[in-house]
Amino acid sequence: MTFAEDQMGLFRQGWWLDATAGSGQWGEAVVASGGSTVACLRYAVTRPWGRTFLTMPPLTQTLGPWIAPHRAKEATNLGREKALVGELFRQLPKHDYFVSNLGPDNTNWLPWYWLGCSQTTRYTYALDLTAGEAELWKGVLPKVRTDVRKAATRFGLAIRSDLDLDAFLKVHELTFTRQGLKLPIDAATIRRVDAACADRGCRKIFFAVDRQGAVHAAVYLVWDSARAYYLMGGGDPALRTSGATSLALWESIRFAATVAPTFDFEGSMMEPVERFVRGFGASQVPYHRVWRAANRWIGAALGLRAAARALCQRP
């Protein structure tokens, strides 16, 4: 029972989950037919409060089930999807809470509703990189274009990708300390992810650096064959007027067009962040978060925790 993992997208890869959730800290439900895998649902396992939670690992925008493509009428495919999602869910180990962000290939959350799950809609923004650089630049809002030009001309910033991860972690941390916030992802996890991605040649960091060698901002990009993702970023608050983040992001978009057909900004539910990424002319893309709690007390506690964590979303 084998299948090519790279069919499932970056965030469902076993090596990605080893890096983000930790080796041995994730599991999967699998449905096979005729010796081939036709559906797979992966999840991180955590145990807060002595309970078993099946959750999203850090730095992972979407997960949800992978379902093998099947040529059939829409009505047949919808019935097949319902059956496969139901079987995957029944295979999950006993748990107190389950949550998963469904990927762009999972637009139908109705089977999850029938399983007793709740849902909320979240948003990312995406660019069609096949349009070509000229069309992409035309779609960028004037303020962002001005920032890109200002960073390169008035401030003389250049984009470099030869600096190490420590240089990125420094500017990444500055973004949060300026707001009095703790890093939402610990450095050890970021180092594991970086090592795993670097080994597979699917990451690049874009640093906007001035003539004195100071890093103004950085963008961390990862990709698979279908999408490039703006995974993380950061900027020096003392240098935030230079337009460096806009320049670094624009250069990462230009590069992304050489490795994938779509650029995914990974969105944000924070209004200032949404406004910034929307300025690059991307299209709004909704995706579903589905969850189910064993009882209302766990649901209420998690609601409070989610509200607190919303203050620490990625800038």
Average pLDDT over residues 158-187: 91
In this prediction, residue 299 carries a pLDDT of 62
pLDDT tier for residue 306 given thresholds of 50, 70 and 90: low
5-116 — its CATH code? 3.40.630
Containing H/E element for 208?
Answer: strand 203-209
Q: Where in the chain is the domain with CATH 3.40.630.30?
A: 125-285
**Are residues 268 and 277 in contact, defined by beta-carbon separation less than 8 angstroms?**
yes
Architecture of domain 125-285: 3-Layer(aba) Sandwich (3.40)
pLDDT in tens, 24-78: 999 999 999 988 899 999 999 999 888 999 999 999 999 999 999 888 899 999 9
**Alpha-carbon gap, residue 222 to 202, rounded angstroms:** 6
**Alpha-carbon gap, residue 232 to 172, rounded angstroms:** 8
pLDDT in tens, 221-253: 999 999 999 999 999 999 989 999 999 999 999
Q: What sign does the dihedral 145-312-305-112 (CA atoms) show?
A: positive
In this prediction, residue 177 carries a pLDDT of 81
Average pLDDT, the chain: 91
**Alpha-carbon gap, residue 68 to 41, rounded angstroms:** 12
Record the pTM. Answer: 0.92
pLDDT in tens, 179-226: 777 888 999 999 999 999 999 999 999 999 999 999 999 999 999 999
Which residues neighbour 258 within 8 Å (Cβ) at sequence distance 6 or greater? Answer: none
